[in-house]
A and B are shown apart, each in its own frame.
Chain A
Amino acid sequence: QSVLTQPPSASGTPGQKVTISCSGSSSNIGTNSVNWYQQVPGTAPKLLIFNNNQRPSEVPYRCSGSKSGTSASLAISGLQSEDEAHYYCAAWDDSLNAWVFGGGTKLTVL
């Protein structure tokens, strides 16, 4: 059972916008920034969003993050086949003194 809760799956058609949620608590998302990772099957994870809504330079503008209270979300607009991957949220937990991850969401592009 993961500390952060994500839906196990999401899907959309090319060009659509998809949103993935991540729910936590006051000791993690409620207090600290949320980060999102993309993992294409067979490869190492890649940082997609950090500090709730900041994108590394190589990440396309189509990806955006937001946070409100103890929940966060990742939005991918203009969905493309290359977006098909697993997505994980993560945050530092002040009570556990540890990084915690969501269980991951498998995004399928139909």
Chain B
Amino acid sequence: VQLVGSGGGLAQPGRSLRLSCAASGFDFEDFAMHWVRQVPGKGLEWVSGISWNSGTIAYADSVKGRFTISRDNAKYSFYLQMNSLRPEDTALYYCVKGYTLGVPGPPDYWGQGTLVTVSS
């Protein structure tokens, strides 16, 4: 299993970033996928999850209405569109494979993370 995140970087408050995660080594279309973030030195915060067929999508309250998760099974990839960014969104964003088809199944395999910094 390999998950490679990209798209992180520096953004000003109020601007947008789009994270991507390229998956390989497993049948991508059979598993839910998640984004989980971590402020350096702090704990883990689940951000969003999407089921195998995009039929179920969920968000943490802290990002609801600003972030959008999506996936493209043909490209073995999933994404996180982050709009109206805030300084408190600054974190390392992990793309994570789910253990099952659905979002309530536990996140299991974690990629290495991509850093997002929101600052003026």
Residue on B nearest A43 in the bound complex, by CB: B112
Q: How many contacts between A and B, using CB within 8 angstroms?
A: 55
User: Which of under 10, 10 to 19, 20 to 34, or 35 or more describes the interface residues of B?
Assistant: 20 to 34
Main secondary structure of the interface of B (DSSP, over half): strand
0/1 string, A92-104, CB within 8 A of B gives 1:
1000111111111
User: Which residues of the partner chain B approach A90 to less than 8 Å between Cβ atoms?
Assistant: 44, 46, 106-107
How many positions in chain A have a CB within 8 Å of any CB in the partner chain? 25
Say whether A44 contacts B112, CB under 8 Å: yes
| Contact bitstring A34-67, B, C-beta under 8 A = 1, else 0 | 0101010000111100110000100000000000
A70-104 contacts to B, CB under 8 A, are 88, 90, 92, 96-104
**Chain B interface residues (CB < 8 Å from chain A):** 34, 36, 43-46, 49, 58-61, 94, 99, 104, 106-113
* A residues with CB within 8 A of B: 2, 32-33, 35, 37, 39, 44-47, 50-51, 56, 88, 90, 92, 96-104
